[in-house]
Structure 1
Amino acid sequence: MPNNQKKGQWAEEQAVTFLLTAGYTIIERNWRCIYGEIDIVAQDGDIWVFVEVRARHHLDDAFASITSSKREKMIHSAHSYLQKLPLDTPWRVDMIAVAWGPPLQIQHVEDILAW
């Protein structure tokens, strides 16, 4: 397994732990469709949350890595997942940035499509 893939898996583990601690329910991980992959599908109460995890040396670099093209893929992927849920299902797309530091830093931003 390439080093970057290991870092990505490690960052996703950190994100899952963070979300569980915050009271989220993890539904799926690494869900794939024709538009791409959703790193984490979770629920925050009644809201379905599609989480993109980005790991970099610094948090700013993680946030800067979300391009308009990536946002479009995230929207299409979320819509693809939502097809199996009721039409009125509330949802949002979040991002968790992980900076491996030292020190380890994790920042969760809700509803990144509103940026």
Structure 2
Amino acid sequence: MNTDVRLSGPQAEALACQHLQQHGLRLLEQNWRCRRGELDLVMLDGDTVVFVEVRYRQHAAWGGALESIDARKRANLSLAAQHFLQQEKRWAAHPCRFDVVAMNSASNPDQRLNWIRNAFDT
């Protein structure tokens, strides 16, 4: 995987997917699109469907990767996830959660990736 300081969006998603797969998650869909929006990664963790939002920020001037997910973005992700479950009925009865993989441009790749499980639980 590219260890340069700069990542493109697709590279960040690939790095996130690889990291999650190394931790036992299985990829179901990548860049799943509907009229409600896009789901970066849809994965399976045991029997739980995991909707993963991948956020990458090269600079923190306008906030970090995690801070870039506001209430409107969470609502759009929730609507897209509902649409996914309506379209992919085989997953509709499974438990679901939203995770975030937030990345920054730290020069050390181990410090650049932050996986937050159940990111939208309050």
What TM-score bracket applies, with the shorter chain setting the length?
0.7 to 0.9
Higher mean displacement: 91-100 or 24-33: 91-100
The RMSD of aligned alpha carbons is 1.7
Cα deviation, residue 111, structure 1: 1.3
Q: How far apart are the structure 1 equivalents of 2:68 and 2:51?
A: 17
Q: State yes or no: 1:99 paired with 2:104.
A: yes
% identity of equivalent residues: 35
Cα deviation, residue 98, structure 1: 1.4
Q: State yes or no: 1:88 paired with 2:93.
A: yes
Give the structure-1-normalised TM-score.
0.88
3-state DSSP of counterpart to 2:65: helix
Q: CA deviation digits over 1:27-81, x for unaligned, max 9?
A: 1100001111000010000000010000013686001100110000000001001
Query: Where in structure 1 do 4 or more consecutive aligned residues deviate above 2 Å?
Result: 57-60, 84-88
Aligned to 2:115: 108
Give the structure-2-normalised TM-score.
0.83
> Is 1:55–1:97's contact at 8 Å kept on the other side of the alignment?
yes
> Is 1:52–1:94's contact at 8 Å kept on the other side of the alignment?
yes
Q: How far apart are the structure 2 equivalents of 1:111 and 1:103?
A: 25
Q: How far apart are the structure 2 equivalents of 1:44 and 1:65?
A: 25
Alignment of 1:1-115 (within 5 A): 7-57=8-58, 61-83=64-86, 84-86=88-90, 87-104=92-109, 105-115=112-122
Structure 1 unpaired stretches of 5+: 1-5
Higher mean displacement: 43-52 or 105-114: 105-114
Cα deviation, residue 85, structure 1: 2.3
Q: How far apart are the structure 1 equivalents of 2:19 and 2:26?
A: 11
1:46 maps to amino acid: D
Q: How far apart are the structure 2 equivalents of 1:88 and 1:23?
A: 21
1:85 maps to amino acid: K
Cα deviation, residue 103, structure 1: 1.8
Structure 2 unpaired stretches of 5+: 1-6
